[in-house]
Structure 1
C-alpha cells in the first residue's frame, strides 16, 4: 500500500491512517491488531473483565496499575513493538516498588493473553520477562493482652467521637473478618436465636463513580460463611439491634454504609502516639487465625477467615512457632564411654 502527500510526514500520516482503515475492515473493527497500542489493549481487556464479573476490589487494583504505571510507561507502544526486552526493561524499572512491579506483570500477562487470542501477537511476550516473586515476610501477631489494651484505647476514643471503634473491634476479634465485611453486615445477616452471623458481602468503591457500595458477595467464593458468635459479642449485637433504626449493623451518622477509609482513619487516631501505632484491623484478623491454629488447628483458622485454601492462612495470617528439636536423650548416648 502507498499514499501520497505534500510532505513526507504528511504522506506517512495518510499511509498510517489508510493502514488502520484496512486492518479495521479485515477484522470487523472490533479486534486488536499489531498496530493497536498497549493502551487500547488495556481498554479491551478491562471490558472483558467486566463480562467475566471480576471482583470489584481486584478490578480496582488492576485499573490502578494500568492508570498509574502501564499507560504512562508503555501505553503508546504498539503491540508489534512490544518485544520481550522492552517489556522486561519496563518491569525492571518498577522494581523500586516490588509489589507494583508484580501487579503490573500480572496485568500485562493477562492483557497479552487477550492479544494472543485475537491474533494481534504471535505469542505472549510477558511470559519470558523476569518473574517477580513476593518478598517473604514472617508473620508477626500481637498478643491478646495488646488487643485488650488497644480496645481500651478505643473506648476512650469513642467517648469523644462518633466512631464505635470498641464495638467494631469486638466484632473483628470475634469473627476475624475483614473490615469491609464487618461494615457490610446487615441485621438480616444475623440469626439472633442461633447466634450465627452470615458473612455475605463486603464494601467496595466503584472505580468509575467513586461511590461506596455493598458488593453482594465477599472477596472470594470461600468468603461466604456462617460464624457462631461468642456470647459476649452476641449480647452486644442484640443490644444494638434493639436500638437500631437502619438496616446495617454499623451505619454512618446519616444512615448509609460507613466508609472503611473513615473508620481506618479513626482507628489510627485512637492509637496514635502509643506503642500500638501502625497496627490495623488486619492485626486482629491475624491474631484470630493464630489463636485458632494453636488451639484447634489450621483448618479452623481457614474456615473462620473464609479462605479457599489453608496455604493462604498459613502464609499470611498465622504466626508459626519455632519448633525445638528434642533429641537430647538420644544424642546423650554419643557421650557415653564404650569402656
Structure 2
C-alpha cells in the first residue's frame, strides 16, 4: 500500500546530518499548500542550529512565503491582518470611493474594537457583543454596513482556511428598534415644487431675502433644481454630467403624429470625494447606474440655454472654477451648503438634494402606465425601491369623487 501523503502545510520527519566539520544540514519533506511535496533543508554550525533554521523555514512555508498564496492567514492571525488582505481585494475589484469608505469604517470603528483579536477568537458571541455596543451610536443602516464589512473580512479568513466558517452568518438580523418608526420617504408636492421654483426665480423686496436669492442664483440653484427634478439623478451623478453626455437634438422615436425627437441624457459616471485624492470622477458602480434617460421639456430648455454658452464637450454642465482657474467639477458638499442656507426661506427646512430624487420617483410611481421595471431603469436601480423613495401621505381629494360616483 502506498504511503499516505502528508497533510497540507505539514512537514515530515526531520533528519540532521553532518556535511563536513562544523556544517550540519537538517532535511525534511514538506507538503505545500498547492499539494506538492517538496524537500526542505537548512544549514547550521551545530545540529541544533540546523534544526532551528529548518523550523524557521517550515514556519515561513506555513505562513505562505514561497507558496502560491501570499499573506497567508492562519488561526493565530489577527483580525487586523485579515483586514489588510480584505482591503487589498476591495482596492483591486471595487471603485476607489468604496475602498475609501471601507477604510474609514475599519479605522474609525471596527479595528479599535476588534483589530487585536485572533481570527480563532472572532466568535459569534464576541461579534454579537460588538454590534450590540454600536446600537446607541449608529442608525440601523450604518450598523448593517459595519456588519457587512466585518463579514467580508472574516470571509477572507474562511477562504484562507484560517477559520472553518463565517460567524457573522449566525448573527441576528439588524432591525429597527422597537417603538421607533422608520422615517417615511418624502418628496415635494406640486405646491411645494411651484413655491420653490417661484422663490428661486423671484426678486424679493426684503433685502435679507433678496441677498439669499442672489446667493442661490450665483450657485446655479434654479437650474440645478430643474435638472434634478427632471432627471432624478443622485447628487454625484448630476454634478458629473458633461456636455458630451447630452443629446438635446433628441433621438427619433415613432409616434402617432409621425417621428418625434426626444432629448436624452447618458448617465455615465459620478463624482465623489476620496481620501488623499480629493474630488474624483469615475464610472458608475453597477450596470444599472449606466443608463440613458429622456429629458422633459423644462429641463431640456434650461440645458439648451446653458450649452449655448462657450464650453468644451468635456466640461461639466454645472462647472466650478479650480484653484488654478481651470474648469472643474463642483463639490457636492458646496451644493448642500448652499441649499441649507436658503431652504428655510421657502419653508422646506427638511429638504436635501435627495428629496428631488424622491420627488422624481413619486411622479413616476403615480403614472400607472409605467411598470416597476421601467421605473427602475429610469432611476438607475436594480429594482424599483418604492418603500425607500416614493412619497406617501398626500391628500387624494379625487377619491371622494370616485366614491360619490360609485354610491350615488
Q: What TM-score, normalized to structure 2?
A: 0.69
Q: Counterpart of 2:162 in 1: which secondary structure?
A: coil
Contact 1:23 1:33 in 2 (8 A): no
| Matches of 2:393 and 2:346, distance apart in 1 | 27
For the 8 Å contact 2:196–2:346, the answer to whether it is kept is no
The 2-side partners of 1:244 and 1:266 are apart by 25
The correspondence for 2:153, drawn from 104, 111, 118, is: 111
Are the structure 2 counterparts of residues 197 and 235 from structure 1 closer, same or farther at C-alpha, using a change threshold of 3 Å? same
Distance 1:158 1:198, change over 3 A: farther
Question: Alpha carbons of 1:21 and 1:87: their partners in 2 closer, same or farther (altered >3 Å)?
Answer: farther
Residues 243 and 19 of structure 1: is their aligned pair in 2 closer, same or farther, counting only changes over 3 Å?
farther
Q: Deviations over 1:27-77 (max 9, x none)?
A: 32421112221112111101111222x134433332222111101111111
Query: Whole-Å Cα distance in 2 between the matches of residues 190 and 19 of structure 1?
Result: 66
Mapped partners of 1:56, 1:202: distance in 2: 12
Distance 2:155 2:306 in 1: 50
Check 1:31–1:146 CA distance in 2 against 1; reply closer, same or farther (3 A cut): same
Deviation at 1:321, TM superposition (A): 6.7
CA-atom RMSD in angstroms: 2.7
The structure where strand makes up a greater share of residues is 2
> How far apart are the structure 2 equivalents of 1:133 and 1:214?
34
Q: Which of 116, 129, 133 is the matching residue for 2:171? A: 129
Secondary structure in 2 matching 1:110 = helix
**Corresponding position of 2:63:** 27
1:83 CA drift (Å): 1.6
Shift in Å, 1:144: 2.0
Q: 1:39 to 1:153 in 2, by over 3 A?
A: farther
Label 1:158 to 1:184 Cα distance change in 2 as closer, same or farther (>3 A): farther
- Higher relative CO (CA 8 A, sep ≥ 6), structure 1 or 2? 1
Q: Deviations over 1:266-299 (max 9, x none)?
A: 1111213652012111111111111111124334
Task: Decide which structure has the larger Cα Rg and report it.
Answer: 2
Give the SS at the match of 2:117. Answer: coil
Relative to structure 1, the CA distance from residue 303 to residue 259 in structure 2 (aligned partners, 3 Å threshold; closer, same or farther) is: same
Tell me if the contact between 1:293 and 1:318 (Cα under 8 Å) persists in the aligned partners.
yes
Q: Tell me, yes or no, if structure 1 residue 248 matches structure 2 residue 316.
A: yes
| TM-score, scaled to structure 1 | 0.82
**Count of residue correspondences:** 305
Structure 2 spans left out of the alignment, 5+ residues: 1-53, 66-70, 202-209, 251-262
The structure with the largest helix share of the pair is: 1
Q: Which runs of 5+ in 1 are unaligned?
A: 1-17, 333-339
* Alpha-carbon spacing, 1:87–1:193, altered in 2? closer, same or farther (3 Å): same
Q: Which runs of 4+ in 1 moved over 6 A?
A: 18-21, 321-324
Indicate which of 258, 268, 272 corresponds to 2:340.
Answer: 268
